[in-house]
Structure 1
Amino acid sequence: MSIGNPSAKDRPSVGRILQQARIDAKLTVDEVSSSTRVRIPIVHAIEQDDFSRCGGDVYARGHIRTLARAVGADANELIELFNAEQGTEPPSLSSGPLFEAERIRPEPRRPNWTAAMVAAIVAVIGFVGFTFFSGGGGEDAGSVAEGSQTGEPAPDQTRNADQPTQEPSPEPSESAVAAVPADKVTVKVTAEGGSSWISAKDSNGRVLFEDVLQDGDSETFTDDEQIDLVLGNAGAVQLHVNGKQIEDVFEMGQVQRLTYTPGDPEEG
């Protein structure tokens, strides 16, 4: 559905265009909400040109694009109309328009902290064992010299030699506690310190989630091959990929497009 070029006075509003396009497509609000994952109250509000439920212009533009695709309307023209009605412009992004699909930035390799932890534990155990046996050998030699008249070791030292050496057990690492299937990719997205518009798709391009994630809420996505993410407010998002926390420090209001596969974040 195209808006055309009517005068500003006669031109219908964004909400009216979306509502009419939905009616023309013979879709109900419930059906649009189910296919887009945009909640029913937000769909009703947008069709009434009430964007206060969206959480800001950035999220409003994301909802408009999502609803436009679902009902067959021209998303770009609706965004231009929204900007003209609100008197705002979307933030410029060198990588492409906001929320549009583009080449996904691969996640950089991260240090293998699990391997480093295991190596440190092995080094500590080796040092403790070396110290224990070195000290024990000197005490045995002194005991034999002191008891040379009988030629038998002291009873206490005989008992110590027969007892097995107890070695400290390594604490389970965070990755072991948060074990996930090795042949799948599992991504957990949590909103912390604010809300963020989130889009998640599987390896077939199917939309798994596309909505605003409120502060404190989380969603988990799993696929055999790949999960593609768009974070509308990356600074308010905490990611766990395949059971491991992503340490990237994103900025508030920053848009990030990411993809993860089995074996990430160390591989992929």
Structure 2
Amino acid sequence: MTLGSSPRDNRRSAASASASASVEPQEPAGPRDEGPSIGRTLATARLNAGLTVDEVSVATRVRVPIVHAIEEDDFTRCGGDFYVRGHLRALARAVGTDGDALIARYQATHTDEPIPLAPVAALEARRIRADHGGRPNWTIAMVLAILAVIALIGFNLLTGKPHRIAAGSINAPSPSAAASAPAASPAGNQPPAPTSSAAPIAAAPADKVTVKLVAETGTSWVTAMDGSGNSLFQNNLDEGKDQTFTDPKQIKLVIGNASAVHLYVNGKDLGAAGKDGEVAHLTYTPGDPQAG
């Protein structure tokens, strides 16, 4: 009599082998490499542009602590998704990177809103959620902060006594000359326009520095300071617009899109402020225009 496995034992062995094969562990998929984060992308672009956080804050009007927080991928200080998108778009424009791509990445990872709400609707929705959820009302806080900033800027403009003069008024006479001129009409204090000079600021006073900026080929953000450190201008200079500044000591400039701005310094045409995409840091004093 030959001893062997029964048909039932053979079936059990086959079933065990099949179960072992079906539960063989698989290696988990590793995390996808999505490249640098939003904050790292902005910080790298800012460093490549040669800008400091303070300069970016001045150009975008986004407060320095919020710029630092965004570069560290902390968006909680922005006050909500609506403000995050606005900050990302402004910062990306200032440092020269793709703002739409950053906003799309933020939408994909931080919010489930497929379509941005209109500004009024977004503010109202956040107000309702804050009121019903017992959380702070960030909309009111942001409005109060904006009003405080506007009041501070107005106070500085009224009390800072900047040396900025309007374009086209460089040829105005000195106070002593104006006092001695006949007051026959409201326009009697204005001297006749120069007839032989073709330079835009040829009549600039020799004992002062006079700088005129003309945005000829695009828009550029501009920061201008006088010799005492007072701010003369902090804003975008749109294409076709111009600004003129004068001071007894010096004019210090930071020009974001240097190739778009044409310079006239102390009556001389210096051409474009810099190359395409260059951030120009310039200082001028009375006499021959020389970059500081």
TM-score category by the smaller chain? 0.3 to 0.5
TM-score by length of 2: 0.37
TM-score by length of 1: 0.40
Which protein has greater RCO, CA pairs closer than 8 Å, 6+ apart? 1
